[in-house]
A and B are shown apart, each in its own frame.
Chain A
Amino acid sequence: MSQPHRLGQGGRIDRSCKLGFSFNGKRYQGHAGDTLASALLANGVDIVNRSFKYSRPRGVVAAGAEEPNALVQLGSIEAAQVPNVRATQQALFEGLEACSTNGWPNVQRDMMSLVGKLGGTFMPPGFYYKTFMAPASLWMTYEKIIRKGAGLGRSPMERDPDSYDHLHQHCDVLVVGAGPAGLAAALAAARSGVRVILCDEQEEMGGSLLDSHETLDGRPAGAWVAEALKVLGERDNVTLLPRTTANGYHDHHFVTLHERRTEHLGETAPRKGGWRQVRSRLHRVRAGRVILATGAHERPLVYANNDVPGNLVAGAVSTYIRRYGVVPGRKLVLSTSNDHAYRAALDWAESGREVVAIVDARAEPDGELVEQARAKGIRIITGSAVIEARGDARVSAARVARVDLEAFRVTGEMETLACDTIGSSGGYSPVIHLASHTGARPTWRDDLLGFVPGLVKGVSAAGGAMGTYPTGEVLEEGARAGHEAAAELGFPEGAVALPRVATRRDGAAMALYQVPHVKPTLRAPKQFVDLQNDVTAAAVELATREGFESIEHVKRYTAMGFGTDQGKLGNINGMAIAARCLGKSIPEVGTTVFRPNYTPVTFGAIVGRHCRELFEPERHTALHPWHVAHGAEFEDVGQWKRPWYFPQERRGDVGGERESMAEAVARECRAVREAVGILDASTLGKIDIQGPDAREFLGRVYTNKWAQLAPGRVRYGLMCKDDGMVFDDGTTSCLADNHFLMTTTTGGAAGVLEWLELWHQTEWPELQVTFTSVTDHWATMTVTGPEARRLLAEITDMDLDRDSFTFMDWREGVVAGVPARVFRISFTGELAYEINVQANYAMHVWEALFANGDRYGLTPYGTETMHVLRAEKGFIITGQETDGSVTPEDLGMQWCVGYDKPCSWIGKRALSRPDTKRPDRKQLVGLKPRDPKVVLEEGAQIVFDPNHSIPMPMAGHVTSSYYSPTLDSGFALAVVKGGQQKMGETVYLPMADGQVHEADIVSPIFVDPKGERQNV
């Protein structure tokens, strides 16, 4: 339980609060305020993972989002498993259980390390493509083994007990990052009164100030942070979001923030006041202005074996000492090309441990920190660099040599220094990821040795994100950005008094990326560029030798900067190496594009509440509760839940098994053809059309004629797009001369309304007509069958006489005491009444029908029976018989086309194009299988000659197919090339299982071809 690397004092941890946790099955202890990474380092855990490709042991390298190695799998129970958590970003909590993401069977002894050992020669870039892709058929087999070895964590197999949600945020100024630049920006912007959101990905806000030894106005930096946060927290116009990462920057300043609300408290969200807290939340922020104060990432140097545990970036060494009171080793060698990294050595020495040497690539380093190091008696080796780390499971020594960077070679004076830790720093890369998401290209700055972000209108960057590092300047730049953002929005007030900060004198930094080795790169021990994806300097060099000159191609060939890493530590080094190999400068080579997300976002947060019962809206009719209570099976039609069929208990078998779908549908079909059935048709779209030009408008959007339709009458209509293809159909009733009620298909309702508005608003605004959806206002019940009239007469005084209320009439009346509009239209071919009442009364009317229904054999039926009945009559369903390539003529519906209407209605002109006039177009026909027991498959392809060699010419396909209890046979509707001229001919349907069905082309009207039944 001892923590060998924990200092007795210092850091922002609470030593009185001890937290037990386990890693790879072993128990450890840390403190409140630790991250999992700092606690592991405190406990002397060197190996935290195995590398992705070579399976080499890896330790913690960094202290934040840029950590490439310490990816862990979290969770003590199956339901709480979380893959790919960066240990550097996971706050420690009591009982935390984690294990390494990679490493099979375990990180200490790894099967794949064999591959890694051989890998030096056997696994160049493109290794997987080159080795395992041939033969292609075996890739699936290889892949399973490789994936098991490599792994990238695993998803939980059980239901997630936690809840997640979204919050739609709107603000004037979004500030990303709450270090000195972000805090100053937020203070300045907030002062002006604009709405500000400040987010920061760390456990605590403050960024670099949290572990700075600088004083602001004579006070410790941390005290200024606390004060700033207090001021911001007290303002109504400021929202502070700690533990919140800005992950994606989308169009027009839409930024997604991922807030981890309870992940620091436990592996599942604790309850609060009886309610389970939201585990994580996606803030969908629409901002007026965005200020990126995302800081910079330190670049490690690329030298041989720089991946052995014990190699860290210099800044992380300081962070662990200063923030967590953890010294990640005993003997340090620091390899650097700049002054700032000297902090690591100074902190190390101050903690009482040995600094073996600082190795500085510069010939004459001379900044303040350098002087401090000299004053402490730390050995400084100049003009040199660590060229290779020694050690296997942990660094044991550093090979140091004089280097000539111009010539890219080692010039001699080799020395091997015993140590267990190598800190390295090649400078700082502004974090430009978010700016890059906007599509703006970054610019290389030779003076900064880094890319600064390209900025689209409305975005600014401040502090480290712009390559500005001295704290005083960072604060100023941040405040200026905040002030300007508010001013641009029309709020110019807001000057903030900034604290005084002493400016440190730093010597000039030197460009250093890959350190030369005594051997050429391709033969030297591995020099890692991208630790997460196991990309080496040799791989980048090889890629350029193989002809990949574009950095985007180098990236894809080597996988550099892929995946969750997004090139945070390695990209600039990789580009520099590619530039060196290609003999170009870094700006000439350019940079790759960073993509969202900056760090991984859990699926839960992406999905929010849109899951399970709330995955998709379920639209219900007013009669839905009745359908549920009567055992309906439901079908999804658009977002609607429609009764599909109503299975009943098998006759004489009360409490026993229910009917099969086929049995239920056969029974429902018979009931309609022989007695009376009832369908809930409320889902049909209904559009109220009013205005003096309503009739003219209908004539233009429907294919058929509307000029003569009298009040009280109903007509069926077809709608085409202007290409002549059918897209919706339905009946429209003339309520009065200037007043019509249009019905649309269930799925087409919204689309048809938008279509009408489109033509009215853009082409014919002069027509006086309005369209209003009344779909939900009415409930519609279709009562149909030979007994329909007698049943309806039981509950209405309306005159239902066949001669006064004729087919295709509508009437107003009172049904079961409720005002109703009744339409005599039929989709079944039987006598039918569609009763429309205000939806609030629907249940009463429906139940009144059933109260009288027994003696007539009233049977509820669903969409399946509706489909069978209408198909027997050859009635089309748009979207089933049509697919956007079918004209009214293809459907044989010339009777519904007003060729001689005075206007050029939508679709008319297209019907005379040569293509729509082709005689061999696919045309609607009926199909009668030779074997009546066969029900053809919907979608099955039709051929004329089953003995034709493969590929057979396709002649059409089945659009609808059912068993008909009336015909006691299977039957189908289909589209067949030139089908209308092929009545009586035989076609063939070869199936996947080798069977070939035979069917005769017949009329699509199978039942009651003269249409007498609907007129009884």
Chain B
Amino acid sequence: MFHIHCPYCGEHREEEEFHAKGQAHLQRPADPEACSDEEWGDYLFFRDNPRGIHHELWVHAVGCRKFFNITRNTVTYEILETYRIGEQPSFTAEYPDGRRPQDATREAQAPLKAGVHA
């Protein structure tokens, strides 16, 4: 049973109030019709399954009904951070101990990569 900090309610709540919605940061291609079948299939069906740091989409279903992201270690089940839709994680596979603030600022400002796994 996780204890999850809802970034909108501003406090920790019990897992029973949430639904897990799978991998986070999946961006729907801006122009689906322009995708090849393979690209579209990749968007629809292929997901990461990392050992270690993973970004997940959750929703505070019994609560504020807002979607948000969780960075979770799939080995220890530790939740390293939760953040709102549109924000970028500080803890990533490259920066498992949390990204330094100046990096976070720089990369947040950088344009998102194009493609289905932006």
Report which A residues bind B (CB closer than 8 A): 250-254, 286, 439, 456-457, 722-723, 754, 757-758, 761-763, 765, 904, 908-910, 913-914
Contacts and interface: CB of A to CB of B under 8 A. Distances in A.
Nearest to A284: B1
A286 B3 contact: yes
Nearest to B43: A722
Contacts of A723: 44-45
A754 B32 CA distance: 23
Nearest to A904: B32
Given A757-B59, A762-B85, A904 B76 contact: no
Interface residues of B, number: 29
Interface in B7-41: 14, 19, 21, 28, 31-33, 35, 37, 40-41
A754 B43 CA distance: 21
Given A251-B1, A757-B59, A762-B85, A913 B28 contact: no
Given A754-B19, A909-B40, A761 B66 contact: yes
B61 A754 contact: yes
B95 interface: no
A761 B85 contact: yes
A1001 to B, nearest CB: 31
Contacts of A758: 21, 59, 67
10 contacts: A254-B3, A457-B78, A754-B59, A758-B59, A761-B85, A908-B33, A909-B32, A909-B33, A913-B40, A913-B41
Nearest to A440: B76
A909 B78 CA distance: 37
A722 B3 contact: no
Contacts of B41: 913
A723 B28 CA distance: 12
A250 B1 CA distance: 6
Nearest to B65: A757
Contacts of A757: 59, 65, 67
Which 3 pairs across A and B sit closest by C-beta, in order of nearness? A909-B32, A252-B3, A254-B1
B67 A252 contact: no
A399 to B, nearest CB: 50
B18 to A, nearest CB: 12
Contacts of A754: 19, 59, 61, 65
Contacts of B32: 904, 908-909
A251 B2 CA distance: 6
A904 B3 contact: no
A913 B42 CA distance: 12
A457 B19 CA distance: 25
Nearest to B40: A909
A650 B104 CA distance: 76
Contacts of B40: 909-910, 913
B57 interface: yes
A253 B78 contact: no
Contacts of B57: 762
A763 B21 CA distance: 14
A754 B40 CA distance: 23
Nearest to A909: B32
A765 B43 CA distance: 20
Contacts of A286: 3, 14
A757 B65 CA distance: 8
A909 B57 CA distance: 23
A250 B45 CA distance: 31
A684 B69 CA distance: 31
A765 B67 CA distance: 12
Nearest to A253: B3
Which of A253, A757, A909 has its CB near the most chain B CB atoms (within 10 A)? A909
A758 B65 CA distance: 9
A456 B31 CA distance: 46
A763 B32 CA distance: 13
A456 B32 CA distance: 45
Contacts of B21: 758
A763 B28 contact: yes
Contacts of A250: 1
Nearest to A771: B65
Nearest to B86: A765
Nearest to B25: A762
A250 B3 CA distance: 11
Nearest to B13: A286
Which of A250, A252, A457 has its CB near the most chain B CB atoms (within 10 A)? A252
A722 B76 contact: no
A992 to B, nearest CB: 35
Contacts of A251: 1-3, 77
A914 B3 contact: no
A457 B77 CA distance: 12
Contacts of B33: 904, 908-909
B37 A914 contact: yes
A712 B86 CA distance: 38
Which of B2, B66, B67 has its CB near the most chain A CB atoms (within 10 A)? B67
A753 to B, nearest CB: 8
Nearest to B79: A252
A285 to B, nearest CB: 11
A356 B86 CA distance: 78
Contacts of A761: 66-67, 85
B117 to A, nearest CB: 15
A752 to B, nearest CB: 13
Contact of A722 (B1, B19, B44, B86): B44
A727 to B, nearest CB: 14
Interface string B85-115: 1100000000000000000000000000000
A762 to B, nearest CB: 6
Nearest to A914: B37
Contacts of A904: 31-33
Interface string B41-61: 101110000000000010101
Contacts of B66: 761
B2 A252 contact: yes
A765 B40 CA distance: 22
A762 B66 CA distance: 10
A904 to B, nearest CB: 4
B28 A722 contact: yes
Contact of B85 (A456, A765, A913): A765
Given A251-B77, A757-B65, A909 B35 contact: yes
Nearest to B67: A761
Given A252-B3, A762-B85, A909-B35, 10 more contacts: A251-B2, A251-B77, A252-B77, A254-B3, A286-B3, A439-B77, A722-B43, A723-B45, A909-B40, A913-B40
Contacts of B76: 439, 456
Nearest to B75: A439
Contacts of B59: 754, 757-758
A173 B85 CA distance: 33
A286 B16 CA distance: 13
A722 B14 CA distance: 30
Nearest to A286: B3
Contacts of B65: 754, 757
Contacts of B1: 250-252, 254
B65 to A, nearest CB: 6
A250 B14 CA distance: 13
Contacts of A765: 85-86
Nearest to B1: A254
Nearest to B28: A763
A182 B67 CA distance: 41
Contacts of A252: 1-3, 77, 79
